[in-house]
Amino acid sequence: MIRLAVTGAGGRMGATILKLASADKQFQIAGAVESAQSNLLGTDIGDLTGSEPTGIRISADAASVFKHANVVIDFSHASATEDLIKAAVKAKTTYVLGTTGLSKAAQKAVRSASNKIAIVQAPNMSIGVNVLFRLADMVGKALDESYDIEISEIHHRGKKDSPSGTAVKLLEILARARGRNPERDAIYGREGETGKRPSGKIGVFALRGGDVVGDHTVSFLGDGERLELVHRATSREAFAQGALRAAKFVAKRKAGLYDMQQVLGIA
């Protein structure tokens, strides 16, 4: 049985993961973590999942919680990643990292930690989105630069980072497929007299509003035809199910940095 700890437990994703894991016989909830500023500290996780009291209460002490777990699923905040990863290494706990918007220092900490513990890191845990990543790579290589590429994403009004981690990953995949540099060859937004669209550039656009869980579209625009790859998430359960699948995968792995392509066996 997998002893699971969840960070960012009070958020919408954390609560969904706890609810689904509680109903899965392969998991035992070992603990739940929130920031020291959270007003949910001390709350029984049963109150989050709509179940009977469990006796497991949300804590700000990640180090103590991780001692009782063999897998952590992290959907907290990028500012907490370095400290949480250090605590996981100390507890020798494997890790599923779904937090996006990481700083370069946090990314470096993740790579360093992967020398000591197994980590699955992905900007989007949805199974469908990870198939989208593979399709984007295939189409990006199959269609030459006479097909312009535009990436657009829509998320709820409360999302704080932009563009989404998924859109950034799509940019990286498509830039690699085209032999382009994602930092140099991306266009974020257009305004005013922009002139003719330069060949080889990749547009990335973010829309925010309402309660949209997450929509991503990659458009390949050629002369006389257009090909679009679209993924629409209608429930956070899609991401939570993917995260739990990643937890089952990483629990059995040696130290290393893995992605969802490897979890799904399509790498």
Name every residue whose Cβ is closer than 8 Å to that of residue 267 and which is 6 or more positions away in sequence: 259, 261
Which tokens is 12 given?
């919408």
H helical segments located in the chain: 12-22, 45-49, 62-66, 81-91, 104-113, 127-142, 165-178, 237-250, 260-264
Mean pLDDT of the chain: 95
The per-residue pLDDT for 160 is 86
The three-class DSSP label of residue 244 is helix
pLDDT > 90? residue 51? no
The mean per-residue pLDDT over the stretch 36-60 comes to: 92
The per-residue pLDDT for 254 is 97
User: What confidence tens digit (pLDDT) does each residue in 32-47 have?
Assistant: 999 999 999 999 999 9
pLDDT > 80? residue 267? no
**What single DSSP character describes residue 44?**
B
The per-residue pLDDT for 238 is 94
User: What confidence tens digit (pLDDT) does each residue in 145-181 have?
Assistant: 999 999 999 999 999 889 998 999 999 999 999 999 9
155 is catalytic: yes
Among residues 86, 116, 159, 201, the one annotated as catalytic is 159
The per-residue pLDDT for 101 is 85
- Give CA 205 to chain center in angstroms: 18
The mean per-residue pLDDT over the stretch 225-234 comes to: 97
Which band of pLDDT confidence, cut at 50, 70 and 90, is reported for residue 221? very high
List the end-to-end C-alpha distance of the chain, in Å, as a whole number: 27
**What single DSSP character describes residue 253?**
-
The per-residue pLDDT for 120 is 98
Which band of pLDDT confidence, cut at 50, 70 and 90, is reported for residue 100? confident
pLDDT > 90? residue 48? no
Give the count of beta carbons closer than 10 Å to the beta carbon of residue 78.
Answer: 16
Reported pTM: 0.85
Residue with more model confidence, 66 or 266: 66
The mean per-residue pLDDT over the stretch 90-108 comes to: 94
CB 182 within 8 A of CB 201: no
What are residue 3's DSSP bridge partners? 28
Exposed, middle or buried: residue 224 (CB in 10 Å: 0-12, 13-18, 19+)?
exposed
160 is catalytic: no
